[in-house]
Structure 1
Amino acid sequence: MIQSILEQQQRQIEWLRQTQPDVPDLLALVKAIAQLQPPAPSTQPLSPYDAVFTQFLHEQYPDWTGTPDSWLTLAQTQGAEGVRKRLRDSWDNRHEAPDPAPSINRFIRQSFLPIATAHARAGLLHLQVRNERQAWTTWQAIREWNNDRKNEQGLRRLCGTWQWLIHNHQNHGDHKTIMVYPPPSQYHRMDPQPAMIRVQGDTVYIRWEFPRGIVQEESLLFGERDQLLSGTFVNNLGPNGNITGRRVKPCQGE
């Protein structure tokens, strides 16, 4: 299965190399693991050389990661052949029995592969988590951009001069005023400036924040082909009621 993954299109691998800087080392390690799979364990009893050879390797090369001489660094930089060469050279230097294959394969099977596989799985899991986090961040950015784009389109619908008729349920009084909403690019010039305006479909939410902690929220609805706005308002000091707005001038400035 690992080998089949490595045989996927080269373009996909190159894309991974460019977007995930730690993927080349991880791919190299996975490839070495695939190529180091030894034959089935022998039914012969353990050689007296096995334990001595394994102990020598652990003493001579104690590090598995983190150093230029470590086993996993060797596998990542020189591949399976580099690992086998180290094992053969270590055997030859000790002038042991003439056939090193059983002891070398046993070390690969019982020591190298379990540790290397665990490291590769941890790396793949870390890569998956990071990619999921990046995908979530990207998705949120796309979603926010899309919402902002829709809100800007809504603000263009709101742009213009409106005559507001405000009915206050608290004192049953009516009040008329003129509201001018500029194009989206000029909202910074409004005075006073809404703390928030969100337009979703035909629904308009406007939040005003004034000195001394005064907050007023308005929930309105477009009607009559965007020539009418109607809805309610509520003020944290108590006033609340209805708003009816009629467009008296089209959008100016864009």
Structure 2
Amino acid sequence: MGAAVGAQLRARGVTVLWCPAGRSDATRRRAERAGLEPALFPDLLDRADVVVSLCPPAGAEELAGRVASHGFAGRTYVEANAVSPERVRRIVALFPEAVTIDAAVIGSPPIGGKRPTLYLAGERAQRDGIEQLFAGTDVRTHSLGLDPGAASALKLAYSSYQKASRVLAALSYGAAQTHGVGEELLAIAANRSSSYLAETDYIPKTAARAWRWGPELAEAAALLGEAGLPEELMLAAATSLDRWEGARDAHLTVEEALELLRRPPPDG
């Protein structure tokens, strides 16, 4: 993602620096193809007006600490990793003399006509500056206001569904395939064209049916186990449905259903 985003800026004539120290040969080749300029880490920080952090989430806070310890003052740090709002606030605190923008990239890397969106939260002037930086590129921008953590919350809320649903799809297909009905499962799925994520009106219906869905998913977990597939995710879904105990056949609003989902588990 980093090289692809950098390539978009290079196409606009923006100088994009990167630090090759400790990076793989594959990463180096991507950076070279993107036209990124290699630089030592201290030199990069001395020259950059804006630093965009796009790295594995586990290293985001450590990287921010390295940048902050160099004396990154009077400039803009864009925290664009999939980290929690709490972690974003800790990173913001590292830069008392710089402006930190909470950002999140949602979508595929901007290659071959793909157009991801860079969501931005933070001080308006700096948000506007980042929007202008990416104007005319395949990286679209969208402002989420002043609250640091808003972009990261949006990213994790979306990816929690997107990525977990991919795992569930693999488990479901694996179970069906084990029993020789994989093609039939795909035929059923092909009849749907919309995303469950967009069907928020179904949340109360899920709550009302949790009393029978929970045991069904527990049985599905057993099916996965018998097929040699991991069952923990399905068991966790069944446990989540336990939060809706007492909602059987109830007529709830979306907010009422979510409030029940937030309460402690029945045996808590």
TM-score scaled to structure 1, two decimals?
A: 0.23
Say which one has the larger Rg.
1
Higher relative contact order (CA 8 A, sep 6+): 1
